Amino acid sequence: MKQKETLSNILSEDIGDDHVASSAETPLRPDAFEKDDELKIELITKHFTEIMHILGLDLEDDSLKGTPERVAKMYVQEVFSGLNPDNKPVARLFENKYNYDQMLVEKDITFYSHCEHHFVPIYGKVHVAYFSSGKVIGLSKINRIVQYFAKRPQVQERLTVQIGKELQSILKTDDVAIVMDATHMCVSSRGVGDTNSRTGTAFFSGKFKDQHIKNEFLNYINSQSKEGQS
């Protein structure tokens, strides 16, 4: 029941108060890709070393001396790798040979991202649905698209819109829906310290603006989630 209430609240027009972004695009400087990954790792290692020094940590300690480089590699090669357009997944489309004209849903896609306000994790589930316009996409590519946009400093509202618009572009259809349900460590591990709250966002376009179709999608998510919890 708790899961159902959380997803139903997504329909609210108010999607947050402190998370308003200026654009659906990730804010990047024009020179964002002038440095290659190797140089970025070198520079981040240097600056993170200084941060640890300022905090009073002993980098001669066996446990800590490799931390700056580990953090630098993690930032560039893993958790923020979605900043680099070279890492964008190539999505191959297939003919809808079965003439399947109903809603296609991929649910419970796990994602990990980082809040751009405090650089701490955001994690949760994404549910995706679309109606084919004549082409379909491999299911694993939907997961890869979610991960690509998640692997950058993010605001949840922006992440939701980016996934939705990317799928619209790839699938050549407006009939796309995204529901995202996430935990923000900037809320649970610091600040107010609320470990129970979650944040819901949604992207509904095309046929999914029809209340009946929207409800069909949300009811499917809710019913399957309840079965999984029983």
Catalytic residue positions?
Answer: 115-118, 156, 184, 186
CB 44 within 8 A of CB 72: yes
d(CA 218, CA 8): 7
The torsion of the CA quartet 95, 98, 102, 103, rounded to 10 degrees, works out to -50
Beta partners for residue 1, in sequence order: none
d(CA 148, CA 19): 21
CB 179 within 8 A of CB 126: yes
CB 107 within 8 A of CB 127: yes
Backbone torsions φ then ψ of 195, nearest 5 degrees: -90, -5
